[in-house]
Amino acid sequence: MTTSRLEALLGATTDLQEGVYIPRLGTDFIVKALDEDTLEKARAQATTGKDGTVDESLFNRLLIVKAVADPDLNDKALKDHYEASDAADVVKKALLPGEQSRIVQALLRLSGFVDDAKLIDEAKN
């Protein structure tokens, strides 16, 4: 049994992707799993003030930017079209809140978060 578990861990991949269908746009966004370092960097970018308050909306937008492999949310044409300052601003201006939520749920699920209640608590902290 131990060998089997060890082999499973040695053979595991963290390069996971799935399509998230956005009905309004009639297309899938390709979303990938995020590693812990990426999650921590996004959380740090979204943390402000002396009390370390996390701007949850910004945090979610940053996660989307990091996790969406296709389309390229950093594309200059997208930024120009939406008059966005950066990719996180593209997400805010181009995607409806429910669409953002759908993508965040997928990326967190791919990243190993399976319990919705735990997922929400993790995203808030």
Write the CATH number of the domain with boundaries 15-124. Answer: 3.30.2220.30
Break the chain into its structural domains and give their ranges.
Answer: 15-124
Q: pLDDT tens, position by position, for the chain (125 residues)?
A: 556 888 888 888 888 899 999 999 999 999 999 999 999 999 999 998 888 899 999 999 999 999 999 999 999 999 999 999 999 999 999 999 999 999 999 999 999 987 655 556 656 65
Q: Dig out the tokens for 11 from the structure.
A: 């053979």
**Distance of alpha carbon 7 from alpha carbon 1, whole angstroms:** 10
According to DSSP, the residues that pair with 18 across neighbouring strands are 31
**Distance of alpha carbon 31 from alpha carbon 40, whole angstroms:** 18
